[in-house]
Homo-oligomer: A and B are copies of this chain.
């Protein structure tokens, strides 16, 4: 695995800093990772974003005439603009010309285009967006899903998220027996809203996952869980809260670190360490989110992604391809359906 060169379709028009930062991140990925990138979007704009020393021969541009903007209704946009960059990128995967899509555009449009062009995996009712959070244990991450695709979730959907997340954690992140938790407001199985109580029972009885119980808000970053399942409303609030934290903590550090001579000595001595602290706290350093449950690898970058985040998102997509996560999830579901059928 991982020895062939992965081809990744990058939505060059998606995100607040598109196409400039997207192109920059993609070029870096092409140089540092074993990937080919297909830049999908307006060729003129993309070419204008290329650095002077980039040879056009080495950059593959796939023209797309349209863009879906953040303020548009995602599903309407996806249907009315078949030539939008995100639609064209998904078609490349559908046609076998690319193995994954990366976009920092409208996340609803990414999901809509994926559903429309790639479809869902067998056995999955709703795809989910999974985000990787750092934890207080430097070597551990936690996959939280759903973080925004589904605002209202039936217990059956949450159970599917648990299986998708567990497979991703095991096969891509390399966690041997991922500990799965249900985000809830107490540890006991009777806690939470109606959906949480019913989901708890379903997860407990599912032999394909290692369900270890409810996870409270305080447990998200504890490192005690590898996968945490929640509906897309709570997950999205938590994700955006966590994303803002890096900056907040850094600003507080900046304000509270001493000024004058004491500050100069202290911060000069600590400079390299402050950078490490930022890296561990700052969510943006940890790349994109994964759209799980559709029939293709899709990584959704943050709307405010700059080149480093795009680079990380492309790496994430490559790792998912390398580890054949789709095929593995699909075969797991097939065996599950044999059992129950």
Are the C-beta atoms of B238 and A241 separated by less than 8 Å? yes
A281 within 8 A of B: yes
A276 within 8 A of B: yes
A266 within 8 A of B: yes
With A192-B233, A233-B185, A251-B136 as given contacts, are A256 and B276 in contact (CB-CB < 8 Å)? yes
The B-contacting residues of A in range 261-290, CB under 8 angstroms, are 262, 265-266, 269-270, 272-273, 276-277, 280-281
Which of B230, B240, B242, B270 lies in contact with A257, CB distance below 8 A?
A: B270
A153 → B minimal CB distance (Å) = 10
A220 within 8 A of B: yes
Residues of B within 8 A of A276 (CB): 256
Residues of B within 8 A of A183 (CB): 237
Residues of B within 8 A of A212 (CB): none
> What is the CA–CA distance of A281 and B219 in the complex, to the nearest angstrom?
18
Q: How many copies does the complex hold?
A: 2
Residues of B within 8 A of A253 (CB): 277
A334 → B minimal CB distance (Å) = 33
Residues of B within 8 A of A234 (CB): 233-234, 237
With A136-B251, A185-B232, A269-B265 as given contacts, are A237 and B216 in contact (CB-CB < 8 Å)? yes
A75 within 8 A of B: no
The B-contacting residues of A in range 216-263, CB under 8 angstroms, are 216-222, 230, 232-234, 236-245, 248-249, 251-253, 255-258, 262
- Contact digits for A178-202, partner B, Cβ 8 Å, 1 yes 0 no: 0000010100100011101000000
A151 within 8 A of B: yes
Are the C-beta atoms of B220 and A241 separated by less than 8 Å? yes
Residues of B within 8 A of A136 (CB): 248, 251-252
A192 → B minimal CB distance (Å) = 6
Residues of B within 8 A of A277 (CB): 252-253, 256
Report the 10 A-B pairs with minimum CB-CB distance, sorted nearest first: A217-B240, A217-B241, A218-B244, A266-B269, A151-B193, A217-B237, A185-B236, A218-B240, A136-B248, A266-B270
17 pairs across A/B with beta carbons < 8 Å?
Answer: A148-B185, A151-B192, A185-B240, A193-B233, A217-B241, A217-B244, A220-B241, A220-B244, A221-B244, A222-B244, A233-B234, A249-B249, A256-B280, A257-B270, A265-B269, A266-B270, A269-B269
